[in-house]
């Protein structure tokens, strides 16, 4: 079994595996080059040969412990009959959410629409060193709702769009829960070793709604993964001190912390769980010495923990790939 899987399942506490969110992306010249020739992002996700190639790009450069399949969290609403547009600037949007076609989604057609994603996982697993993990992922229901309802405006939640919609939201969440589980199991069957659940916008939920919109939906997916024997990492970004309740209630195998979380606080408060990530990706844009110093700080704090090195969010497009190489070397030297 791979190092990350051993770390996640508590079989090995001595290692610090490393991978990065958005390790396949615009900071890599080879990604930009391929992307230039393929303007339609969705088509890229749905081309198993190109998705495999992109997934492996960072592994050809760096000695990482895991690949994360090149796809997107919005592929699931796409397969649930929604029209998704990936804009060059401003991020992706769902064009006029259609609840009828969404609720009427058919399981067979869903799998058919995503067959290239599963094929990409199969092809990647075949090419990937057997000691390395292949991570697949889903977006949590709340984070997907943000896009379905177009809830974000200038980084803020447009609360008005949620008013009086509790029943509709419950219906949408139920359907998402069902189809996210289909997507999880199909990714596992194709060869994925780990699932990461991205709740990137969890920080926008008001406290009294956390249980309904964050903890319960994540818990349902985590329990499903555990029942199926799939190690699971949760990333409820922006939860601040509520990370503690999240861990106590949801109980994933591993918790990915964001860069607002003080790592000392995490070590003290997030108990009996593998911790992942934390370092601010913006620090990778500053001078190298400062960035490597911060890597050291995380390694020191978590030296007696089960810890996976990663950042507090994805690698930024302006990041120098050479610095990623040095960070990986530093982590290897640490042992």
Give residues in contact with ligand CP3 (CB under 6 A).
21-26, 35, 41, 68, 70, 72-74, 86, 91-92, 137, 198, 200, 314
Q: Which is nearer to ligand CP3, 26 or 244 (CB)?
A: 26
Between 199 and 294, CB nearer to ligand CP3: 199
Burial 46-59 (b: 16+ CB within 10 A, else e): bbbebbbbbbbbbb
Cβ proximity to ligand CP3: between 92 and 321 the closer is 92
Shortest reach from residue 311's CB to ligand CP3, in Å: 11
Give the nearest distance from C-beta 238 to ligand CP3 in angstroms. 10
Give the residue among 116, 110, 78, 235 at the shortest CA–CA distance from 182.
110
To ligand CP3, the closest distance from the beta carbon of 194 in angstroms equals: 12
> Between residues 248 and 280, which has the closer beta carbon with respect to ligand CP3?
280
Q: Which is nearer to ligand CP3, 7 or 68 (CB)?
A: 68
Which residue's CB is nearer to ligand CP3, number 8 or number 54?
54
Task: Indicate the pairing of strand 152-153 with strand 156-157.
Answer: antiparallel
Helix/strand number for the chain, H first, E second: 16, 11
Residue 124 CA to residue 90 CA, distance in Å, equals 30
3-state secondary structure of 233: strand
Smallest gap from residue 146 Cβ to ligand CP3 (A):
8
Considering the complex, what minimum distance in angstroms separates the CB of residue 46 from ligand CP3? 13
Q: How far apart are the first and last CA of the chain?
A: 20
- Which of 197, 220, 162, 161 has its CA nearest to residue 76? 197
Only one residue has tokens 């995503």, namely: 114
Residue 275 is encoded by which pair of tokens? 């911790």
Is residue 116 within 8 A of residue 47, CB to CB? The reply is: yes
Query: CB of 258: closest distance to ligand CP3 in angstroms?
Result: 9
Which residue lies nearest ligand CP3, judged by its C-beta?
200
């Amino acid at each position: 079994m791979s190092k990350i899987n051993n770390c996640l399942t508590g079989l090995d506490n001595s290692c610090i595996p490393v991978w990065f969110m958005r390790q396949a992306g615009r900071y890599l010249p080879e990604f930009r080059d391929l992307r230039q020739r393929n303007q339609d992002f969705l088509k890229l996700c749905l081309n198993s040969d190109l998705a495999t190639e992109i997934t492996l790009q960072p592994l050809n450069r760096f000695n990482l412990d895991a690949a994360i399949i090149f796809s997107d969290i919005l592929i699931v609403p796409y397969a649930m009959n929604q029209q998704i547009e990936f804009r060059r600037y401003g991020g992706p949007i769902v064009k006029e959410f259609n609840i009828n076609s969404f609720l009427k989604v058919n399981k067979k057609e869903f799998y058919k629409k995503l067959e290239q994603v599963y094929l990409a996982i199969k092809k990647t697993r075949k090419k990937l060193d057997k000691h390395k993990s292949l991570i697949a992922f889903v977006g949590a229901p709340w984070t997907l709702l943000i896009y379905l309802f177009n809830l974000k405006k200038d980084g803020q939640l447009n609360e008005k769009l949620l008013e009086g919609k509790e029943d509709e939201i419950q219906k949408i969440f139920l359907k998402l829960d069902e189809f996210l589980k289909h997507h999880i199991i199909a990714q596992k069957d194709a060869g994925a070793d780990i699932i990461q659940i991205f709740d990137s916008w969890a920080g926008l939920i008001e406290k009294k709604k956390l249980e309904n919109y964050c903890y319960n939906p994540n818990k349902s997916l985590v329990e499903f993964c555990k029942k199926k024997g799939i190690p699971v990492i949760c990333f409820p970004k922006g939860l601040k001190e509520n990370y503690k309740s999240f861990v106590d209630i949801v109980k994933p195998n591993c918790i990915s912390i964001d860069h607002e979380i003080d790592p000392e606080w995490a070590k003290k408060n997030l108990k009996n769980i593998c911790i992942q990530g934390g370092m601010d990706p913006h620090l990778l844009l500053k001078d190298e010495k400062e960035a490597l110093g911060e890597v050291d700080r995380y390694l020191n704090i978590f030296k007696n923990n089960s810890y996976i090195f990663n950042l507090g969010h994805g690698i930024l497009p302006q990041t120098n790939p050479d610095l990623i190489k040095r960070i990986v070397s530093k982590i290897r030297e640490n042992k």
